């Protein structure tokens, strides 16, 4: 009777290790398919906002297309048409749509 209890306890230990590897594998897959790409996208968007310069054609998250007229600390003044300028926050400029509208990848 005691031998069967010991054998059951030893067998249960192998199942726990299998579950640990399974959960570790799931976490690793989630990191590479969900967390890492999101971090890369945020880093690219930050680099885009820092590299904006006068004369660049950009699109805001509201869909407004314009050319950068001047830069301030956290704001950008966009020239929409001759004499029509608006001031928007840098964070309101969409890196994804700006790249699509200018044709750069």
For the cut 90, the answer to whether the pLDDT of residue 23 exceeds it is yes
Pairing of strands 65-71, 75-81: antiparallel
At 38-82, the pLDDT tens digits run 999 999 989 998 889 999 999 999 899 999 999 998 899 999 988
Segments making up each domain of the chain, as ranges: 1-51, 54-105
CA–CA gap between residue 101 and residue 57 (Å, rounded)? 8
For the cut 90, the answer to whether the pLDDT of residue 22 exceeds it is yes
Residue written as tokens 């301030």? 72
User: Residue 6 has what pLDDT?
Assistant: 43
User: Residue 27 has what pLDDT?
Assistant: 94
75 vs 12, higher pLDDT: 75
Lowest mean pLDDT: which of 11-20, 27-36, 54-63, 76-85? 11-20
Q: Given this structure, which CATH class describes domain 54-105? A: mainly beta
Predicted structure pTM score: 0.63
């Amino acid at each position: 009777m005691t031998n069967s209890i010991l054998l059951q306890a030893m067998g249960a230990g192998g199942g726990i290790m299998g579950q640990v590897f399974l959960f570790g594998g799931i976490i690793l897959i989630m990191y590479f398919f969900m967390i890492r790409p999101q971090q890369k996208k945020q880093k690219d968007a930050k680099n885009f906002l820092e590299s904006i310069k006068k004369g660049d054609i950009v699109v805001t998250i509201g869909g407004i297309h314009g050319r950068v007229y001047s830069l301030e600390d956290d704001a950008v003044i966009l020239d929409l048409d001759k004499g029509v300028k608006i001031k928007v926050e840098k964070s309101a400029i969409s890196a994804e749509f700006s790249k699509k509208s200018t044709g750069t990848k």
